[in-house]
Amino acid sequence: AQKITQTQPGMFVQEKEAVTLDCTYDTSDPSYGLFWYKQPSSGEMIFLIYQGSYDQQNATEGRYSLNFQKARKSANLVISASQLGDSAMYFCAMREGRWGAQKLVFGQGTRLTINP
Amino acid sequence: EAGVAQSPRYKIIEKRQSVAFWCNPISGHATLYWYQQILGQGPKLLIQFQNNGVVDDSQLPKDRFSAERLKGVDSTLKIQPAKLEDSAVYLCASSLPLGAGRTGELFFGEGSRLTVL
């Protein structure tokens, strides 16, 4: 079974609009973390934002915010005022494992294209 | 602070040949990961080291893939013999342990793109 599900293979958005990228996860562990990474065409993985399972507030980092709905097991990424440079693959990932053995499990990704 | 270093960036080989990829993690990062990313998919963990010990290699095709991390610093991933389906980007990442306010974020190298013909 998929532990991280990203249901949008591709998204097309007009520049300056806000966009929401969906992510749902599956775990029975009460302690976990959720990450979003950006992967431009050059290939590097760029960390965007993190949400811990015990965090009371939704995480925000500049134009990025994470809409964390724990009961629904969803962790959607919201990008406000999109820019052409936001065009890339976006991956949602969940941290599994305990101290010293933690790893990230990734979803299939969403390709975001920002149109001028 | 220097990032995760990987080499080579690109490699093209014929099927049944061998190839090796090298990774040097961020200084002080005890945990090192090798991920395989096939075109259009998310990264899949192949092997995870804690210092020079293997923590998880459950998804490593051990009949053809091997990896080592001598002295708990840099690491080598080898494929022998390569198959067409091994064409992918091989991403190395490193991290600090959880705790002390750390999230377990992975820091990635630029990747090594393998094409098997």
Mean pLDDT by 10 residues, chain A (116 residues): 89 97 94 95 94 93 96 97 97 86 93 96
| Overall average pLDDT of the B63-68 stretch | 97
* Residues in B touching A103 (Cβ below 8 Å): 33, 45, 48, 55-56
Instruction: Give the pLDDT score at A2.
Output: 66
Between B101 and B108, residue with greater pLDDT: B108
Instruction: Give the pLDDT score at A1.
Output: 59
Q: Please provide the average confidence, as pLDDT, over all residues in chain B.
A: 94
Please answer yes or no on whether A101 and B44 come within 8 Å at the CB atom: no
| Overall average pLDDT of the B79-89 stretch | 97
| Overall average pLDDT of the B15-27 stretch | 97
Residue A92, H or E segment = strand A88-96
Please answer yes or no on whether A45 and B95 come within 8 Å at the CB atom: no
* Residues in B touching A45 (Cβ below 8 Å): 43, 91, 93, 106, 108
pLDDT band per the 50, 70, 90 thresholds, residue B89: very high
Place of tokens 């990450």: A35
- Per-residue CA distances from A34 to A96, A106, B54, B68 (Å): 10, 10, 24, 29
Instruction: Give the pLDDT score at B11.
Output: 98
